[in-house]
Amino acid sequence: MKQTITQKILAAHAGRDHVEPGELINARLDLVLGNDITAPIAIREFEKIGAATVFDKERVALVPDHSTPNKDIKSAELVKILREFARKHNITNFFEIGKMGVEHTLLPDKGLVGPGDAIIGADSHTCTYGALGAFSTGVGSTDLAYAMAMGETWFKVPEQIKFVYYGQMPKWVSGKDLILYTIGKIGVDGALYCSMEFTGEAIRNMEMAGRFTMCNMAIEAGGKNGIIEPDDITMAYIKGRLQRDYKVYKSDPDAVYKDVIEIDVSKLEPIVSFPHLPENARPISESTHVKIDQSVIGSCTNGRIEDLRIAAGILKGRKVHPDVRLIVIPATQEIYLQSIKEGLTEIFVEAGGAVSTPTCGPCLGGHMGVLAAGERSVATTNRNFVGRMGHTKSEVYLASPAIAAASAVLGRLGSPEELD
């Protein structure tokens, strides 16, 4: 029986030759992840079940990234729980301040995830690692607790949807625009508990940063996971990073899909998702009437060095609009340092922006850019629900780094082409 890449990975980790959508399986895990919001709950449950220690100190990762550096006493106490647990169980991959980064950028860059892996994390955007050809998905804190102890968990095998992106992407159209357009096309529940397999000419020509962005937002369409078959671009990325064995899986040509959706990217323009759902996607040409108060460039979706380069290229020699606050957040310490070395940080500061140490911060309304009532922010983040970035009467507009940078200069939603 022919299978997709997701089916093959799940079958291998369940000790099976084949799995079918809808089956319940038990699968071993290559990595389990928790952060400062979700892991404290998991640690409490871990201790309740009386587990002596974690299943493998090398395969548990704890990343306090959501409200760090600690914004208040509560966030400090949560990180303290992680710190003490990591020390007690000699967990290798605990990333404290100075080494910390936004988890879904940090772990791939550190070589902790790779092709063919099965990964869970108590964070919904764990699906990011599908960009490397891994099966990765978010779970609840109780599932994380069991997985930390046993190194395995259960899954219902998802149905598969294949997305074929063909044609050449126009200038300023990126992976962020492709995934926002896709979510707008199928809706926030259009891939509910399905594997979203991204394929086609546009994907094959896309750098890893764009692939990570697309898989990161699979959950915003209800997807169980997003995934892209590994290729030469994938291999170039993991070379020198991944210091262990891995296995590359590919979908069989005649694998069965619930649906196949084809999208001609050559007809797209940059996309903005309006409040209060990612599916409210509109082309930038229909969005320029919206004035903004804030522009955020960063997060696990778009905080990579490639994203910062795009933003800096637009901001160089220009000034942020006097009515706009620009906040730039490199996703890891290494990206932060690279941004300094390349002169990107200087461009952001000279333009009138603020540059932060790595943190999720404003993405979830934590800190470093919380919105007041009536304020609007364009953001390269992944969610724009009511109250997501602060007050319930604030608004978040999701966009690419190019649109976020141009909008910061224009004082309203707009394209880089308007700056020429």
Q: Answer whether residue 294 is part of any domain.
A: yes
Whether residues 32 and 159 fall in one domain: yes
Q: Which pLDDT does position 361 carry in this prediction? A: 87
Question: Which of 262, 282, 315 is at the close of a domain?
Answer: 262
Whether residues 235 and 306 fall in one domain: no
Which range of residues forms the domain containing residue 282?
A: 272-419
Q: Which pLDDT does position 227 carry in this prediction? A: 98
Whether residues 155 and 248 fall in one domain: yes
Whether residues 250 and 146 fall in one domain: yes
Whether residues 147 and 42 fall in one domain: yes
Q: Answer whether residue 267 is part of any domain.
A: no
Q: Which pLDDT does position 366 carry in this prediction? A: 86
C-alpha distances (whole Å) from 413 to each of 128, 176, 318, 376, 387 are: 27, 16, 16, 10, 20
pTM for this model (two decimals): 0.95
Question: Which of 262, 297, 326 is at the close of a domain?
Answer: 262
Q: Which pLDDT does position 365 carry in this prediction? A: 85
Q: Answer whether residue 227 is part of any domain.
A: yes
Whether residues 94 and 132 fall in one domain: yes
Whether residues 19 and 149 fall in one domain: yes
Question: Which of 262, 292, 320 is at the close of a domain?
Answer: 262
Extract the tokens encoding 75. 């966030």
Q: Answer whether residue 2 is part of any domain.
A: no
How far is 157 from 221, CA to CA, in rounded Å?
A: 17
How far is 123 from 112, CA to CA, in rounded Å?
A: 16
Per the listing, tokens 């910390």 go with 100
The H or E element spanning position 86 is helix 73-88
CATH code for the domain of 193: 3.30.499.10
What's at 198, amino acid-wise? F
How far is 346 from 343, CA to CA, in rounded Å?
A: 5
Whether residues 232 and 380 fall in one domain: no
Tally Cβ neighbours within 10 Å of residue 348: 26
Instruction: Provide the domain count of the chain.
Output: 2
Whether residues 218 and 354 fall in one domain: no
User: Strand (E) positions, 3-57?
Assistant: 24-28, 31-35
Whether residues 144 and 240 fall in one domain: yes
Q: Which pLDDT does position 103 carry in this prediction? A: 95
Mean pLDDT, 10 residues at a time, over the chain (420 residues)? 94 96 97 95 94 95 92 94 96 92 96 97 96 97 95 96 97 97 96 97 97 97 97 96 94 95 96 96 95 97 98 97 98 97 98 95 88 97 92 97 98 93
Extract the tokens encoding 208. 């890893």
Whether residues 230 and 279 fall in one domain: no
Q: Which pLDDT does position 201 carry in this prediction? A: 96
Task: Provide the H-helix boundaries in 131-207.
Answer: 141-150, 175-186, 201-204
Q: Which pLDDT does position 327 carry in this prediction? A: 98
Short-list 106, 133, 116, 132, CA closest to 33? 106
